[in-house]
Structure 1
């Protein structure tokens, strides 16, 4: 039922205890400041991706996907401990005709995590879900 629900929306987001393991918060061995810098550099090098704003104080990066299906992504970077930083996504697809994207926003998040995993040291997913 969750998979069907994921196909019939134009929005996906990650969280600590998400039912879909691939959409759980991911943790990296990096400081908050360095994570924001690394992510900003990564997005600027990607074709069809435009960094709209960066807020180090709030730990957020707003990104516009301009190539292919249009989408808007907010990346949240949260320092958990020294050298342990969580990265979460909220992605909304710009669908003009239908109110859903057939799982594109979910796939977009997975692709972003795959790229980030190559740039920063991945520790794990949903590491603090038991404490909630």
Structure 2
């Protein structure tokens, strides 16, 4: 049954991080940062021409982005203050169209890429 579950997951068109995710790579990341600094670092991830910021709300800590190119992605980034100097960052990435070999691995790689960039800019909470 586990093999079938893994195969079906490969063809999912969205990938999301959370605190209790079964995959350790897709667990929420926590940073030693004020909300504003973490929010700006996440917003900077999407400053290149391949991204189009659709909406942003600093008060809610939510950034909605469309990634043009292949594959075309829709991204929601959430920045939440947990405690003073502790901020959580989560991503939800979905694809407009599927691929023959599945899109889940591409979406997961995209999230890992965002977290790697943030890890160079912000200090992680241990």
8 Å CA contact 1:14–1:24 kept in 2: the answer is yes
Contact preservation (8 Å) 2:65, 2:74: yes
Unmatched tracts of structure 1, length 5 or more: 125-132
Partner Cα distance (2:71, 2:19) in 1: 27
- RMSD over aligned Cα, in angstroms? 1.8
CA shift, 1:97, in A, is 6.8
1:36 alignment partner in structure 2: 39
Q: How many residues matched?
A: 122
Q: Trace 1:16-55 onto structure 2 (pairs within 5 A).
A: 16-44=19-47, 46-55=48-57
Scaled by the length of structure 2, the TM-score of the pair is 0.86
CA contact (8 A) 1:6 1:106 kept: no
What secondary structure sits across from 2:22 in the alignment? coil
Selected match of 1:73 from 72, 75, 78: 75
Q: Secondary structure at the match of 1:103?
A: helix
Unaligned stretches of 5+ in structure 2? none
Partner SS, residue 77 of structure 1: strand
CA deviations on 1:46-105 (whole Å, 9 max, x unpaired) are: 35122221101111011111122110100011100111000000100111676x514211
The equivalent of 2:17 in structure 1 is: 14
Distance in 1 of aligned mates of 2:70 and 2:99: 15
